[in-house]
Structure 1
Amino acid sequence: MLSPFRTGPPRLLQGHPVFTSRDIDDAREQVARLFCAHGLQQVGAAQALDCHMHRVPLGALSLNYLGYGADVEITPGCLGSFYLVQIPLAGQAEIRCGRQRAESDTRTAVVLSPDQPVAMRWHADCAQLMLHIPRALVEQRVSSAPDRPGARLDFALALPQSTGPAAGWCRMVLDLAHNIDAHGAAWLNHAAAVASLQDMLLAGLLSLQPHDQSAAAPSPEALPRHVQRATEFIRAQAEQALGVTDIARAACVSVRALEEGFRRHLGTTPGAYLRTVRLQQVHAQLRAAAREGRAVPLYEMAYRYGFFHLGRFSAYYKAQFGEPPSATLKRR
């Protein structure tokens, strides 16, 4: 086992090592085995390469730590089969993805899209936490129907870590890595927990980071009448105890027809749509309370809208609005 970094980049996921190497060719081959073939060149001979990679699978996704310990040029071209979110923990990197460029550091992460040629320079002090996402998962989320191929989707490159709507999502990914380091990853053996986490990460990224399909959702007028009835009923009755059977009855269709209509025309399920509407209504009420200086017990608001697991409520809220509900209450 090689010694750890001699200088300061923080390391995450240390209990899940993939490899360590001081050889540039070995490092290239090891990273390519998990990501894709790429060029890797060290810039200057004065620094000694000290590469570390750690990895934790999250269902079809994976959370990865990577640092080279030296200035390197990385040229994968088009990633092809996956998206890659890179969140710097320390140091700087210059990123080109298609026609977009970004200076990436602890304030600015990036999202690499699979059909845009990528070239990067990571500085010696750069260490990154990276979320690897198969493109099929992303494109299925924006497909118009479950049996049709997904549409190509390109994200905006720069992903602000400290400001803007996606900052809370970045913090959630970082918190996840810290949680794995502090408490282990045994809970990732539970399929339901992993599926929920994967869904939350994908939904948060798609809703909070701009992309070229952001404006592609159908207008209400373009929806079939039974889907319109269902969405109107959900918005009017979000505080009530609703199940999919109640929604189907209000829409005058079977549960199966309702679920197919939501999948085909909204790309989601009735239950997920209900959760989104409830979170939107909670958000609006918290904003109003903040403007008026009113105190609102968050647990009461969560219970009122059917969220009985407060930690999960906070996570859903943060993924959708980029901040925890307590932060919304503090705004004026």
Structure 2
Amino acid sequence: METLRFDSGSLEETEAFLSEAYTPMRIGGSPEDSRARITRRAAGGLVSDRLEFGYTMAYDAGCLHRICLVTVHEGSFADTTGGGERHFGPGETFLLAPPDRPYRGEVRGARYTITMFDPALLAEAAGTGGGFRGPVRFTGQRALDPAAERRLGSAVAHVRDHVLAAPGEEVPPLVVATAARHLAAVVLTALPGTVLDDRPVPVDGRDAGSGTLRRAMAFVEENAHRDIGLADIAAAVPVTPRAVQYAFARHAGTTPLAHLRRVRLARAHEELRAADPGTTTVAAVAARWGFSHPGRFAAEHRREYGTAPARTLREDAR
């Protein structure tokens, strides 16, 4: 995992750092007695930054080319992109700007978190949820309602406090990939937007038959240890992502990604049964199979196998 720290009272140094870390920008302010402090933790294209500005910093920035979510802890933001002011305060998580548009505004004595990921994950999440094609276009910065705001804040906190929490430690690739895909799915449902070219992909009934399901399941079984998603499963069959979804729904009563998660849970269970409890931990096994939250992994394991994973490690490994 990449860890980077910045601490300066110089506007010139801060502008240079922000332009390198995000996108070319110009900033202004009067930080005579205050400093800008930034800590970055990043892995596999997923970025979590903690920032603190003790003064009002104006910014005029170019396109980010990434999905950038801001969670305000103290102080406030004023977004002035396109005229007018939109204010964001403590407790709010919002979209800083669409990835393909410049943005401007002010950070007003704020302490906040920035979380970023590749916009391509949104198109994949859109296909996973509804079988649509084309990029996603957001029509607003705030979540749709309080429940959506809570989901969005929780997903960001998971990345910040669990996935990218430990400085300098290597994060298993499956943990990063799973967290990024989950965050993208939450963003897609929490923020107002539309999928361009949102015509449903037609599905031939033959493409969604039991043969498709068998080939898809075989691919998942052989590749569960890799960072794969719906598009990869569909390409391996090969049929459209929508056909894979229909095949799982009709013949297995589940979804492709739910099946993938169950296979990974089974692999983790097998590894726990065979591992030496003196040299292996439940958290390490869970992380290797993409489960970044030990409590959730334990709950899923208990539902599926009727026992806690720690007990499986201690007793079945004898």
Normalising by structure 2, report the TM-score. 0.61
> Is the contact between residue 140 and residue 150 of structure 1 (CA under 8 Å) also seen in structure 2?
no
SS of residue matched to 2:155: helix
Which one-letter code corresponds to 1:108 in the other structure?
E
Which one-letter code corresponds to 1:204 in the other structure?
V
Q: Provide the residue aligned with 1:156 in structure 2.
A: 140
| Alpha-carbon RMSD | 4.5
Q: Provide the residue aligned with 1:186 in structure 2.
A: 169
> Is the contact between residue 102 and residue 110 of structure 1 (CA under 8 Å) also seen in structure 2?
no
> Do the aligned partners of residues 227 and 93 (structure 1) sit closer, same or farther apart at CA in structure 2, a change above 3 Å counting?
farther
> Is the contact between residue 71 and residue 94 of structure 2 (CA under 8 Å) also seen in structure 1?
yes
> Do the aligned partners of residues 264 and 71 (structure 1) sit closer, same or farther apart at CA in structure 2, a change above 3 Å counting?
same
- Is residue 37 of structure 2 the alignment partner of residue 52 of structure 1? yes
- Is residue 209 of structure 2 the alignment partner of residue 209 of structure 1? no
> Do the aligned partners of residues 163 and 141 (structure 1) sit closer, same or farther apart at CA in structure 2, a change above 3 Å counting?
closer
> Do the aligned partners of residues 185 and 311 (structure 1) sit closer, same or farther apart at CA in structure 2, a change above 3 Å counting?
farther
Tell me by how many angstroms 1:134 deviates. 2.8
Q: Provide the residue aligned with 1:21 in structure 2.
A: 8
SS of residue matched to 1:20: strand
Distance in 2 (CA, whole Å) between partners of 1:268 and 1:20 is 52
Distance in 2 (CA, whole Å) between partners of 1:123 and 1:20 is 18
Distance in 2 (CA, whole Å) between partners of 1:36 and 1:203 is 25
User: 2:111 aligned to 127, 134, 156, which one?
Assistant: 127
- Is residue 72 of structure 2 the alignment partner of residue 88 of structure 1? yes
Identity of aligned residues (%): 12
1:112-145 CA-partner distances (Å, limit 9, x unpaired)? 2122331121111x1111112233443455579x
Tell me by how many angstroms 1:156 deviates. 2.4
> Is the contact between residue 88 and residue 129 of structure 1 (CA under 8 Å) also seen in structure 2?
yes
Q: Provide the residue aligned with 2:312 in structure 1.
A: none
Tell me by how many angstroms 1:25 deviates. 0.9
Tell me by how many angstroms 1:85 deviates. 0.7
Distance in 2 (CA, whole Å) between partners of 1:225 and 1:57 is 43
SS of residue matched to 2:193: coil
> Do the aligned partners of residues 16 and 224 (structure 1) sit closer, same or farther apart at CA in structure 2, a change above 3 Å counting?
same
Q: Provide the residue aligned with 1:116 in structure 2.
A: 101
Which one-letter code corresponds to 1:106 in the other structure?
P
- Is residue 207 of structure 2 the alignment partner of residue 223 of structure 1? no
Question: Structure 2: 5+ residue runs without aligned partners?
Answer: 221-232, 262-290, 301-318
> Is the contact between residue 143 and residue 151 of structure 1 (CA under 8 Å) also seen in structure 2?
no
Runs (4 or more) in structure 1 with deviation over 6 Å come to: 255-258, 264-269
Q: Provide the residue aligned with 1:170 in structure 2.
A: 153
Which one-letter code corresponds to 2:183 in the other structure?
L
> Do the aligned partners of residues 127 and 260 (structure 1) sit closer, same or farther apart at CA in structure 2, a change above 3 Å counting?
farther
Which one-letter code corresponds to 1:164 in the other structure?
A
Normalising by structure 1, report the TM-score. 0.59
1:295-315 CA-partner distances (Å, limit 9, x unpaired)? xxxxxxxxxxxx9x8604989
> Is the contact between residue 217 and residue 266 of structure 1 (CA under 8 Å) also seen in structure 2?
no
